[in-house]
Structure 1
């Protein structure tokens, strides 16, 4: 039975404006799905070309800026496992900063239930896009929505971080897995009937 349960596919992405093709308005406004601070929509004219499409988001993490970040607040289902994934790159002049992310779970009354944090995520090489797939996180039973945040802490010599193509998806069984489980169940039922005769 274990082999039958192994297959899983990712469901639809529940984030919006995942490629940052729509501009961010700023902190306190979730127009375009994301709120941001120290965050600017960028294009190939900036230090790093977008991973896909025409735009990415640039997190201005200058030495005196205190960092920059983006946040989105999708609805979730309790007891459901989600995977957060995004692409990151940084300018060659970026040094001494860090890339961090967290998923903060809230109930229907907006109270914070818990938080899954991922700090000092490995950046990879300068000006090269790296996919960051964070370990699966499971929504608490009473979770109604969550806050997905990606941020960069200030660096020591300027430069900026770039984020593109973010996804936050629930794991669902592949159709083949569901079919195999159904066939296994029918087989067990047939054996039981044969035994009872």
Structure 2
């Protein structure tokens, strides 16, 4: 290998390595496979907070549970002991009001970085709610939400031949000035029992949260020139 080829390869590798280093999963228990009883009557994922409320009667403790049936293929982690989170829309009703259930995890964050949440979600054909979301939210030192972004999971009920119509979704947001924490959130909003009966589950599994810099034009140019240079040198050899 010539010195020029070696230098260009090194330049490209350093840029790619820097990006890869920030792509590590920030979440604890992103697979959701470790679970225990906390805020809900049945086990829910460790290192995550699950809260459930109904519009009339308020807070309750049977809005979601960790279940072995909730994380089948095509989700990536399907080893023995695999768990996903099962949201229970049918716990919303006329007497108590529609049910909203959130699963959240907060981690330290740095203003100026882009944070991307990726996870899997699925729903049975008769799932009924006012909305379903994956979200990245930013909190200041006082715990107030100061920014973020939401993915409304618009294709959740579109059949794809997979169990629960499972699909992968992502949402990204830039952390604003004043950010102290980044929150990963999955939510069922206004869930209700479907009078038609049948399968109504909403399930999620296997999350990652990563950070990245806003690419600078000079960095993109360096990477592009480096890769083009390597290719050109190889073609000449």
TM-score (norm 2): 0.61
- Contact 2:123–2:165 (CA<8 Å) still a contact in 1? yes
Give the equivalent residue in structure 1 for 2:126. Answer: 93
Name the structure 2 match of 1:57. Answer: 85
Corresponding residue to 2:187 among 151, 156, 174: 151
Tell me: CA distance 1:26–1:90, structure 2 relative to 1, closer, same or farther (3 Å). farther
Equivalent position to 2:27, from 5, 11, 15 = 15
How many residues get paired?
A: 175
**Cα separation, 2, equivalents of 1:17 and 1:122:** 26
Distance 2:208 2:48 in 1: 13
On the 8 A contact 2:117/2:135 being kept in 1, the answer is no
Determine helix, strand or coil for the equivalent of 1:127.
helix
Normalising by structure 1, report the TM-score.
0.71
Q: 1:116 to 1:133 in 2, by over 3 A?
A: closer
Q: Which stretches in structure 1 are left out of the alignment for 5+ residues?
A: 186-197
RMSD value, Cα = 3.6
Given that 1:24 and 1:34 are in contact with CA atoms closer than 8 Å, whether structure 2 keeps it comes out as no
Q: 1:183 to 1:73 in 2, by over 3 A?
A: closer
Q: Which structure: greater helix fraction?
A: 2
- State the 1:105 CA deviation: 1.3
Query: Runs of 5+ in structure 2 lacking a partner?
Result: 1-11, 52-62, 227-237
Q: 1:128 aligns with which of 160, 165, 184?
A: 165
